[in-house]
Amino acid sequence: MENVEPKQPAGDGSASGYPNNERPVTRRSFGKAIAGGIAGLIVAGLWGLREWYHRRLAPIRVIAETNEIRVRGSKIFQYPTDVEPCILVRTTETDYVAYSRLCTHNSCPVFWHPEDNALACPCHGGLFSITNGAVLQGPPPRPLPRVLLRIRGNDILAVGMSNT
């Protein structure tokens, strides 16, 4: 079926042929706008579902004691399962961060490099920010997934994962 644009009024002097250059909304343009909106909602919904899945299903587990690691030191642990390596870094006297240890390029394990204030991947030179896991250099396509932490007394708990 042929999609026919509505007839345009003529002779009013405007560039588009419509009064005040206001084009009427066609069924096609309206359908495109609705489809775009629905696609955006689906993408946002899937992203939210993925985040919820990672946070909801990850166990709460003690991964270290607060005085176990010196300032600017690190500890390797497994989370959320026993075969998923992660790294905990004590960045200041009171601050800790943790990330998946699997490089987002080809899954080589990353190492803490205090001199660069970054997590480094030895395989292809990937470098990740210790602040937020963002890629600083190299081929990794995404930031490192972050392990969500909570301090309870002298215990450091892993309470979930976040990909943001």
Positions in the binding site for ligand FES (CB under 6 A): 103, 105-106, 108, 121, 123-124, 126, 138-140
Angular region, 39: left φ>0, alpha ψ -120 to 50, beta rest: alpha
Q: What is the DSSP letter of 124?
A: T
Kindly state the smallest distance separating residue 23's Cβ from ligand FES, in Å: 50
> Which one, 85 or 139, has the nearer CB to ligand FES?
139
Kindly state the smallest distance separating residue 106's Cβ from ligand FES, in Å: 4
Q: What is the DSSP letter of 58?
A: S
> Which one, 145 or 160, has the nearer CB to ligand FES?
145
> Which one, 15 or 83, has the nearer CB to ligand FES?
83
Q: What is the dihedral of CA 69, 71, 75, 80, to 10 degrees?
A: 100
Q: How far apart are CA 62 and CA 145, in angstroms?
A: 19
> Which one, 55 or 124, has the nearer CB to ligand FES?
124
Token pair 């998946």: residue: 100
Kindly state the smallest distance separating residue 94's Cβ from ligand FES, in Å: 30
